[in-house]
Amino acid sequence: MCMNAYRNLSLQELAESQQLARERPYVGPRGISCIYQGNRIRAVGRNNFTRSVSETFDDFIIWHLRYVLGDRWFRNHRNLPSNEQHIVMQWGLAMGEQRERVFDAAPETGQVVSSHPTGEVQALLTLAYDIYCLCLINQLPEEILNRVRNYNEFQGVRYEIALAASLVRAGFNISWLESNERHAEFTATLAESGETIIVEAKSRHRPGVLHESGNCPDYSCLTADISSLYGRALRKPTDGLPYLIGIDVNLPLTPESEEGFDNWMRDVFELMDRHPEPTQERPAKEFFLVLTNFSWHYTGRGPATAHQANYTAPEWASAVPVDRRTIIALFQAFNCYGIRPEGVW
């Protein structure tokens, strides 16, 4: 079968694009906030909220997460035994405990204090910020929220939300597709270039982690093990659009190896070596493969560390963006995950 083939950016062009992404200003949506009659008014999408002027942005997005998931849902889960609570509730309680420790150590009442987040707190804050960003552009359907509330679907939809919010903050407009195994997750159109890509999200499930059944294995024995996820992603239709695959390895965060890359990338290199090198005659289906490790949940009460993201871009693909600004925006989207630029709220 004859396939269209297009040459991707060279390694040098990709490296230059990464550098330009670091210099690119924030172009995503910004919340509207003002002081009125002694209160802070916050506009999020179609909703306006009246809040205390002393409330921090972190406190607001945590409250907003509770608002969108529903007070009844939170009350029901708060009353469950800890081992039966939804992981979002467990993270919320961990944040409350850290807040108490910080306030108890504050030298003066009423003083503004801060602390480095734990892994659980960082997991909660990033989820809350992702949902806040999607609500700013009215792209958080109730179907997505129902999956967040569901124990069995939480991990998968959490990663879909992470990718969608990352792209939104980099200037993409997203449109969710029908949620099933026959379709990718959503399309994303960059406002600057007008180019549209299609995005598939996969997250590696681990026993005993994020509501997965079974006992947690020895973390030191875990590998990326994403071959089946990659194979399933390659079976999705792309409608002729440039195809981005995101896979989260869901492993404990570790320091870089002596070679300068994350240790789990060795497994990824071995996976890619087992696949034929894409050529003009047999191009890759995806133009961009993003390998992430957004896994603060493993850190628990320990201090949160930086996330991990790596990329592969085959030389030949069946469809590629023609505007380099699209690639630059993609690098910005994933390099900045978990980081909130100043002045965006």
Q: Could you report the per-residue pLDDT of 122-180, keeping only the tens digit for each?
A: 999 999 999 999 999 999 999 999 999 999 999 999 999 999 999 999 999 999 998 66
Amino acid at 134: L
Cα–Cα distance, 314 to 283 (Å, whole number): 8
DSSP 3-state assignment of 79? coil
Number of alpha carbons in the 13 Å side-chain half-sphere of residue 169: 28
pLDDT of residue 219: 80
Q: Is the pLDDT of residue 106 over 50?
A: yes
> Across 3-12, 100-109, 203-212, 306-315, which has the greatest mean pLDDT?
203-212
With 0-12 / 13-18 / 19 or more C-beta atoms within 10 angstroms meaning exposed / middle / buried, residue 101 is exposed
pLDDT of residue 129: 97
Structure tokens at 286: 């995806």
Strand partners, 293: 308
Identify which has the larger pLDDT, 99 or 58: 58
Cα–Cα distance, 144 to 164 (Å, whole number): 12
Cα–Cα distance, 29 to 268 (Å, whole number): 34
Strand 288-293, strand 172-176: pairing: unpaired
The mean pLDDT value for 216-240 works out to 89
pLDDT of residue 279: 93
Cα–Cα distance, 213 to 205 (Å, whole number): 10
Work out the angle between the directed axes of helices 71-78 and 87-105 (0-180°, nearest 10): 80
Number of alpha carbons in the 13 Å side-chain half-sphere of residue 26: 15
Q: Is the pLDDT of residue 99 over 90?
A: no
Cβ neighbours, 10 Å, residue 67: 16
Identify which has the larger pLDDT, 177 or 258: 177
The 10s digit of each residue's pLDDT in 231-250 is 999 999 999 999 999 999 99
The mean pLDDT value for 69-96 works out to 92
Lowest model confidence (mean pLDDT) among 88-92, 107-111, 162-166: 107-111
The mean pLDDT value for 286-315 works out to 91
Cα–Cα distance, 40 to 17 (Å, whole number): 39
Structure tokens at 3: 């396939």
Q: Is the pLDDT of residue 1 over 50?
A: no
Structure tokens at 249: 């390895």
pLDDT of residue 345: 59
Cα–Cα distance, 63 to 95 (Å, whole number): 12
Alpha-carbon 206 to chain mean position: 18
pLDDT of residue 344: 54
Q: Is the pLDDT of residue 301 over 90?
A: no
Q: Which residues contact 235 (CB under 8 A, 6 or more apart)?
A: none
Q: Is the pLDDT of residue 2 over 50?
A: no
pLDDT of residue 111: 64
pLDDT of residue 273: 82
Lowest model confidence (mean pLDDT) among 112-116, 156-160, 182-186: 112-116
Strand 172-176, strand 47-51: pairing: unpaired
Q: Is the pLDDT of residue 94 over 70?
A: yes
Query: DSSP code of 226?
Result: -
> Across 50-54, 176-180, 275-279, which has the greatest mean pLDDT?
50-54
Contact 247, 124 (CB under 8 A): no
Structure tokens at 314: 């085959």
Cα–Cα distance, 180 to 245 (Å, whole number): 16
Q: Is the pLDDT of residue 197 over 50?
A: yes
Average per-residue pLDDT for the chain: 90
